[in-house]
Amino acid sequence: MSWREVPYPVVVIIGPTAVGKTEIAIQVAQHLGAEIVSADSRLFYRGMDIGTAKPSMEERQRVPHHLIDLAEPDEVWSLALYQQEAARIIADIHQRGKLPLLVGGTGQYIRAMIEGWEIPPQAPDTQLRNALEQWAQEIGAETLHGKLRVLDPAAAQLIDPRNVRRTIRALEVIFRTGRRFSEQRQRKQVPYSFLIIGLRRPRSDLYRRIDQRIEQMLARGLIDEVRMLLAKGYSPDLPPLTAIGYHEIIQYLKGEISLDEAVVLMKRRTRNFVRRQAAWFREDDPRIHWLEVNEQTVGRILDLIMDKRAWLILREGHETEPQVQGLKNQE
């Protein structure tokens, strides 16, 4: 039995920031001759390497990576465009007889692929969007997000309060249609067989790794990376530059906060981000095989990939809980 007997297989590796997805995915891919398709929206942008913990060139030479360094920081990559490109790349990998590994921490992108989301056909309303952008400038990102939280709590839970662009998009759809943004997501049949593997660590270990990662980013030159982006003329208000790490260093470079304060904010906001990531993938979701990260993790993932039964949970989509639990107990 092998993954080659599964129709259109895609292995999905998910988990919070700093859990170790990159290295584990690379090791799994090397064992199988697989290729990695990124599902991390922070990795789209060229010149943003250190602050996003982007796989290094050496790591990308070990295993082919896709959907990295696609755009400049002032270009917008939508979810619909991501779905289109990811589907094209996955089809190409399958055609070449390889196994695609869909890897990342952007829950919205992963869920869209797994569940076949169809983005509501809602043309942008420039006048309304401009009004919302002006409103955001007047009341601030947090207050604007609070308005969304009142109108659509489900959508607000999954949108970073500092991501003004996504908050505005959700409000725009609500105001134009009179319906909650979270209720307008349609689904289509997906052509893949998925095996979803979730990686986890004890919370204290994860927080320690987050702190270490941020210190390493600074040591590797995060401040210089941000300076370079600003020197190229990119606005600090661009969505990629409002991401955790970049926003705080920009505040430091402007003299608004000290470097120590920037580091504290980065660590605190990353921990909050990890909690929001958990909202996308619950540990009681029967579709996901959750594994603790340790020396046996890669081997356990390879065993699951070779076990055709493990693929049936999401492919069929309607297995009973006893069936699912019975399979999980055999892991």
What's this model's pTM, rounded to 2 decimal places? Answer: 0.81
* Residue 22 labeled ligand binder: yes
* Residue 18 labeled ligand binder: yes
* Per-residue pLDDT reduced to its tens digit, 212-229: 999 999 999 999 999 999
Q: Are 134 and 14 part of one and the same domain? A: no
Q: Are 191 and 159 part of one and the same domain? A: no
* Predicted local distance difference test score (pLDDT) of residue 318: 37
- Judge whether 43 lies within some domain: yes
> What CA–CA distance (Å, rounded) separates 101 from 9?
9
For helices 222-231 and 203-220, the axis angle rounded to 10 degrees is: 60
* Residue 19 labeled ligand binder: yes
Q: Are 145 and 13 part of one and the same domain? A: no
* Residue 16 labeled ligand binder: yes
> What CA–CA distance (Å, rounded) separates 222 from 49?
9
Q: Are 175 and 194 part of one and the same domain? A: no
Q: Are 31 and 91 part of one and the same domain? A: yes
Strands of the sheet with 100-104, listed across from one edge? 65-66, 35-38, 100-104, 9-14, 193-200, 288-292
Q: Are 76 and 97 part of one and the same domain? A: yes
- Judge whether 222 lies within some domain: no
- Judge whether 192 lies within some domain: yes
Quickly state the pLDDT bin for 325 (edges 50, 70, 90): very low
- Lowest-confidence range among 45-49, 96-100, 155-159, 296-300? 155-159
- Judge whether 113 lies within some domain: yes
Q: Please report, for the domain that includes residue 152, its CATH number.
A: 1.10.20.140
- Judge whether 244 lies within some domain: no
Instruction: Measure Cα distances from 78 to 10, 82, 185, 214, 238 in Å.
Output: 22, 6, 15, 27, 14
Quickly state the pLDDT bin for 236 (edges 50, 70, 90): very high
Q: Are 62 and 198 part of one and the same domain? A: yes
- Judge whether 263 lies within some domain: no
- Which residue is listed with tokens 């199988």? 32
Portion of the chain with pLDDT greater than 70, in percent: 91
- Judge whether 265 lies within some domain: no
Q: Are 77 and 15 part of one and the same domain? A: yes
> What CA–CA distance (Å, rounded) separates 96 from 90?
10
* Residue 21 labeled ligand binder: yes
* Per-residue pLDDT reduced to its tens digit, 246-287: 999 999 999 999 999 999 999 999 999 998 888 888 888 989
- CB neighbour list of residue 254: distance below 8 Å, 6 or more residues apart: none
- Judge whether 320 lies within some domain: yes
Quickly state the pLDDT bin for 185 (edges 50, 70, 90): low
Task: Give the SS3 label for residue 196.
Answer: strand
**What is the total count of domains within the chain?**
2
> What CA–CA distance (Å, rounded) separates 96 from 171?
42
* Domain with 143 in it: 126-184
